[in-house]
Amino acid sequence: MFKGGYTGKILRVDLSSLSAKEEKLPDALVKNYLGGAGFAIKYLYDELKPRTPALDKNNKLIFAVGPLTATGAPCASRMAVVAKSPLTGAVGMALSGGQFPSEMKMAGYDIIIIEGRAEKPIYIAIKDGKVQFRSAAKIAGMMTTDTQLFIKEELRDQNYRIACIGPAGERRVLMACIVNERRAAGRKGLGAVMGSKNLKAIAIRGTKRPAIADAKAFKKARAAMLKNMKDSPVLYPQFSKAGTPMVVDPMTEMGIFSTKNWSATGQISMIKGLGRETQDTMIINRNPCNDCPVGCSQVKMVKNGPYAGYLSEGPEFETTYSLGSTVGVDYLPAVIAADRLCDEYGIDTISAGVSIGWAMELYEKGILTKKDTGGLDLKFGNHAAVIEMLRKITYQEGLGALLGQGTKKAAAKIGKGTSDYAMQIKGLEMPAYDIRGAKAHGLNYATSYTGADHNRGYAFQEIFDIPIPEKVDRNAIKGKGRLTKWNQDTRAVTCDCATMCAFLLDMAVPAVACQNTADLINAAAGTDFTSAEIEKIGERLNNTARLFNIAEGFTRKDDTFPKRILTESIKAGASKGQLISQKDLDEMLDEYYMERGWDKNGKPTPAKLKELGIKTR
């Protein structure tokens, strides 16, 4: 079916036997799932037995790139990493950029499937199809940056790109992530899955770019996309210079920048301490992903004060929230230090920060005491306590061991009504935007197959007032089921499967997203996808993921919100008085399920599965 773009090869690695074999990429997989998250979730659904414990050796850890990766298409050095999540028990899918995805494609693989468990800690070295299994005894317990430096030196080749876990992943902390250079497959605890397999790192080196089926057509499609990027009033003038932290100011002004574990949204402005003006003063450089002309990733360094010398690539908007506003910290140097430590430990900044913010609220309410915190004064705003708690989470000490399991599991163990304050959905801690003032964004959190995940169906119509496919009222309920389906399906295929940076969908090509993807892939791979077929792939992916979750026991009752969202309105600011009541949620869910062709319980109907060509297990 394809004549370029793809390598046509899958690498299947069995850590139990320390063996690897290559398989052919099926044409049907390309036709129906395109690449990236589509490939990985399809394999997870087909091959993982339902109810397999996430940290069992039989769980799969799957890395998959898309047909545009390493082709020269702008902003396409992205990969999906997929496993059953130990944090949620649902599909765990995280995306990562940087250099590793392109290197993986140039090394010869569209998919790498990791199975089994090594007897002792190892790392895998892959170079142009040659696979080695090497001891990781010397690097056990190492931070992520040192791990990467050590492996490059041991392999005597600084051009290797490395995805690894830190001490949190080795200890199977449920919010551990996988770090490649200064990028992370950050959410859902995929680092714990990697640690459970005794796999410290994957080092990869490739020298062969994929073939382009129609170079002339590809040049034309690429030029059209670059023009859309150049014409964007936001992408280069603002986003390339400031990155995601530029969103702090407008979200504060909209009254939806969540603060103090979502208890004080709209009541406090943190623009002075965390906003763009302060962020910009600390930028020292950029670190673009492979084949990215935008370079949104801003490297910042603290020059003075108690955190002098700390450097991080960010903090991104979400991290500014999770290690800043939601823990009541409006001191950017502390956020930068905490961000860097999360990267070195290998833990998800969002889940870690939100879990600490939850504990801070419990502490201030008297539910937790200094005896529980190990003597820490865990009040909102105490950045030193945040820094120490990150260490305790990583090394599973005291309260940190409990918080590292995520707020859902921790609340179940503490009891005392603490689940009412746990800002999570399906076990995944909630991202920054206070969804009481952005209803479609909220419905996406409730229905996303990964749990509370802004990246699965980002409602840019509400967040940035972009009228595509239509202009919306962010506080309205009607029509949000239809909009959420469109957002989830479009983003799934154009970003997660293609694979391409999601920021382009929001800022450069929202009106032509599926056609842009079709044009680029058809030229690169020699396929003949229509725009409608591209969008249908996104729908197929979301239905496949839903089937996986249903087999794991998820139902309509899991498509919900924390009690705070359902019962407490925002108290001040531009979104004052907003909440999403149970009645509102039920109305949106009914519309969403109807638009998806699911029954009232959120289960895909036989007719919908037949339409999409999905065979159940």
CA distances from 92 to 82, 85, 147, 166, 595 (A): 5, 4, 24, 19, 24
H or E element that contains 515:
helix 513-525
Averaged confidence pLDDT in the chain: 97
Specify the residue for token string 């991104």. 316
Are 411 and 460 contained in the same domain?
A: no
What distance in Å separates the CA atoms of residue 3 and residue 77, rounded to the nearest whole number? 20
Average pLDDT, stretch 369-397?
Answer: 98
Per-residue model confidence as pLDDT tens digits over 357-376: 999 999 999 999 999 999 99
Report the 3 state secondary structure along 324-366.
CHHHCCCCHHHHHHHHHHHHHHCECHHHHHHHHHHHHHHHHCC
Are 441 and 389 contained in the same domain?
A: no
Are 367 and 457 contained in the same domain?
A: no
What distance in Å separates the CA atoms of residue 541 and residue 33, rounded to the nearest whole number? 7
Tokens of 502: 């999601």
Q: What is the residue type of 110?
A: D
Establish if 446 belongs to a structural domain.
yes
Give the domain CATH number at 409: 1.10.569.10
Q: Which residues contact 589 (CB under 8 A, 6 or more apart)?
A: 443, 446, 447, 481, 556, 559, 602
Give the domain CATH number at 448: 1.10.599.10
Are 392 and 456 contained in the same domain?
A: no
Are 357 and 284 contained in the same domain?
A: yes
Per-residue model confidence as pLDDT tens digits over 51-66: 999 999 999 999 999 9
Are 377 and 355 contained in the same domain?
A: yes
Are 343 and 199 contained in the same domain?
A: no
Average pLDDT, stretch 9-30?
Answer: 98
Higher pLDDT, 286 or 220: 220
Establish if 221 belongs to a structural domain.
no
CB atoms within 10 A of CB 133: 17
Per-residue model confidence as pLDDT tens digits over 301-347: 999 999 999 999 889 999 999 999 999 999 999 999 999 999 999 99
What distance in Å separates the CA atoms of residue 170 and residue 195, rounded to the nearest whole number? 5
Tokens of 308: 């002098």
The domain boundary residue, chosen from 423, 449, 472: 423
CA distances from 566 to 263, 439, 446, 584, 586 (A): 13, 12, 12, 9, 11
Instruction: Work out the pLDDT band at 190, boundaries 50, 70, 90.
Output: very high
Q: What is the residue type of 334?
A: A
Q: Total structural domains in the chain?
A: 3
Establish if 160 belongs to a structural domain.
yes
What distance in Å separates the CA atoms of residue 64 and residue 56, rounded to the nearest whole number? 21
Are 98 and 195 contained in the same domain?
A: yes
Per-residue model confidence as pLDDT tens digits over 443-452: 999 999 999 9
Average pLDDT, stretch 210-224?
Answer: 97
pLDDT at 504: 84
What distance in Å separates the CA atoms of residue 230 and residue 142, rounded to the nearest whole number? 42
Closest by CA to 324, choosing from 273, 249, 251, is 273
Establish if 453 belongs to a structural domain.
yes
What distance in Å separates the CA atoms of residue 322 and residue 357, rounded to the nearest whole number? 8
Establish if 61 belongs to a structural domain.
yes
Establish if 222 belongs to a structural domain.
no
Per-residue model confidence as pLDDT tens digits over 122-154: 999 999 999 999 999 999 999 999 999 999 999
Per-residue model confidence as pLDDT tens digits over 486-499: 999 999 999 999 99
pLDDT at 617: 82
Q: Contact, 408 vs 424, CB < 8 A?
A: yes
Q: Contact, 95 vs 55, CB < 8 A?
A: no
Average pLDDT, stretch 101-124?
Answer: 98
H or E element that contains 41:
helix 36-47
First to last CA, the chain: 26
pLDDT at 366: 98
CA atoms within 13 A on the CB side of 303: 8
Instruction: Work out the pLDDT band at 182, boundaries 50, 70, 90.
Output: confident
The domain boundary residue, chosen from 205, 222, 237: 205
For 25-138, strand residue ranges (E) read 61-65, 79-84, 91-96, 111-115, 122-127, 130-135
Report the 3 state secondary structure along 197-246.
CCEEEEEEECCCCCCCCCHHHHHHHHHHHHHHHHHCCCHHHHHHHHCHHH
Closest by CA to 320, choosing from 264, 273, 253, is 273
CB atoms within 10 A of CB 4: 21
pTM for this entry: 0.97
What distance in Å separates the CA atoms of residue 442 and residue 426, rounded to the nearest whole number? 14
CB atoms within 10 A of CB 581: 14
Are 295 and 181 contained in the same domain?
A: no
Q: Which residues contact 115 (CB under 8 A, 6 or more apart)?
A: 12, 13, 14, 15, 16, 57, 58, 60
Q: Answer whether residue 1 shows pLDDT above 80.
A: no
Are 372 and 270 contained in the same domain?
A: yes
pLDDT at 505: 83
Domain around 198: 9-205
pLDDT at 315: 95
Establish if 240 belongs to a structural domain.
no
Tokens of 553: 């026991």
Establish if 4 belongs to a structural domain.
no
Tokens of 33: 């799932």
Give the domain CATH number at 105: 3.60.9.10
The domain boundary residue, chosen from 423, 445, 470: 423
Sign (positive or negative) of CA dihedral 213, 214, 219, 223: negative
For 483-570, strand residue ranges (E) read none
Return the percentage of the chain with pLDDT > 90, whole number. 97
What distance in Å separates the CA atoms of residue 472 and residue 454, rounded to the nearest whole number? 18
Q: In terms of DSSP bridges, do strands 122-127 and 199-205 run parallel, antiparallel, or are they unpaired?
A: parallel
H or E element that contains 546:
helix 531-551
- Residue 156 backbone dihedrals phi, psi, to 5 degrees: 55, 40
Q: Answer whether residue 249 shows pLDDT above 90.
A: yes
Per-residue model confidence as pLDDT tens digits over 509-542: 999 999 999 999 999 999 999 999 999 999 999 9
Average pLDDT, stretch 34-41?
Answer: 98
Are 396 and 324 contained in the same domain?
A: yes
Are 95 and 122 contained in the same domain?
A: yes
CB atoms within 10 A of CB 407: 29
Instruction: Work out the pLDDT band at 553, boundaries 50, 70, 90.
Output: very high
